[in-house]
Structure 1
Amino acid sequence: MGYCTKKVYYFDKPGEANTRDAIRIGAERAQELGLSTIIVPSTSGNSARVAYEELKGKQIRLIVVTHVVGFSSPGVWEFDEKLAATLREAGVTIITGTHVLSGLERAFSSSPKVSGGSRSEAVAEALRRIVAVGLKVAVESTLIAADQGAIGVTDEVIALGGTASGADTVCVIRPSTTQRFFDLQVREIVAMPRNR
């Protein structure tokens, strides 16, 4: 027989209230599969802090992916800089990268002078609506981490994502860089909100 049995978790509702459980579930699956890396997106630093607390003492490398400077306001990095320094000192990798599934495309689609959607935004919207917002975030964070050289493209990682804030989606992903987007594989959806 060519199959295996794994647990899948479904949260009743999406959102931040699931963050700690999502990180625990991600760590559990990482240990089951012998994976060494968890990618956690974090805008303000709250999810990064919870992930650091939950993963402390485990043999799991934490990579935090944040919004770019100026995402919400020109010149502003939303991540708590004091927390960033503490996490870096503790060995956590923090990556600040452009949203690869929107980035420059969003400037065109949201401009009153140039309108219309793009293919990358269509991919992002499909991931958000068909499966979960957190899946789009997990995929995008994995692409950003690979583009920055923080992870390789041959070993699976655990990648988390969330809806608005916090984490509520856990995936096992074989990474790729953005340039080779269609080589990325979501191999497992370990947890996600059932109602979105």
Structure 2
Amino acid sequence: MSYTKKTTYYFDNPGPENTSDAALFAIERAEELGIKKVVVASSSGKTALEFQKSISGTDIELIVVTHVVGFTQPGVWEFPKDLAERMESEGVRIIKGTHALSGLERAISRNAKLGGSSRTEVVAETLRRTVAIGLKVAVECTLIAADQGIVSPEEEIIAAGGTAEGCDTVCVIKPSHTASYFSLQVREIVAMPRNR
């Protein structure tokens, strides 16, 4: 029998108060496994800044996935443009991505005439409800980064997401593109909230 013993961290509750610890746990596991890319969701920039602080002094690349323009209101990008420009000048990659696990599907399910859930939304809801909302976010950000060619199905990455705000879930993922979703593997849960 062959196995590896690893530490998993459990936050008592979800939320932004876990962000700094989640960032430290992400970098700790990346260094332990020799992983060179960390993908994290950030809509306001606060989580991105916390992760940038944590990778300081390492050779780990930080990839921040933000909402697309128009996510909350038409024509508006939530992520502060000046912060994005500063972080990019410091080596952080900032990408905008349509939610791979909802996108156009959400427009159809929210339409009163069409209604109903889509198969894609069922996948998203399954991740949210059976493991953690942050896992769904981490998986989705990984798909977005893979579809933009920033991470490869040939590597392992650290991916992190949260519940509404901040970060409370960290995992090791072998990426895939959205079109080959079922090739994606969540290989390790590094941290997550116990109470959801």
Range into which the TM-score falls when normalised by the shorter chain = over 0.9
Q: Tell me which residue corresponds to 1:184.
A: 184
Q: Tell me which residue corresponds to 2:16.
A: 16
Cα deviation for residue 56 of structure 1 reads 1.1
**TM-score scaled by length of structure 2:** 0.99
Q: Tell me which residue corresponds to 2:89.
A: 89
Cα deviation for residue 54 of structure 1 reads 1.3
After TM superposition, the structure 1 = structure 2 runs for residues 37-186 of structure 1, keeping only pairs within 5 Å, are 37-186=37-186
Cα deviation for residue 113 of structure 1 reads 1.5
Runs of 4+ in structure 1 displaced over 2 angstroms?
Answer: none
> RMSD over aligned Cα, in angstroms?
0.6
SS in 1 for 2:137: helix
Q: Tell me which residue corresponds to 1:33.
A: 33
- Structure 1: runs of 5+ lacking an equivalent: none
One-letter identity of the residue aligned with 2:166: G
Q: Distance in 1 between matches of 2:24 and 2:169?
A: 12
Deviations 1:46-68 (A, max 9, x none): 11111111111111100000000
One-letter identity of the residue aligned with 1:191: A
Q: Distance in 2 between matches of 1:59 and 1:24?
A: 15
One-letter identity of the residue aligned with 1:89: S
SS in 2 for 1:62: strand
Q: Distance in 1 between matches of 2:151 and 2:28?
A: 20
Q: Distance in 2 between matches of 1:58 and 1:11?
A: 25
Cα deviation for residue 132 of structure 1 reads 0.2
**TM-score scaled by length of structure 1:** 0.99
Cα deviation for residue 4 of structure 1 reads 1.0
Q: Which 10-residue stretch deviates more, 117-126 or 51-60? A: 51-60
Deviations 1:26-49 (A, max 9, x none): 000001101001001000111111
Deviations 1:67-97 (A, max 9, x none): 0000001100000111100000011111101
SS in 1 for 2:84: helix
One-letter identity of the residue aligned with 2:23: I
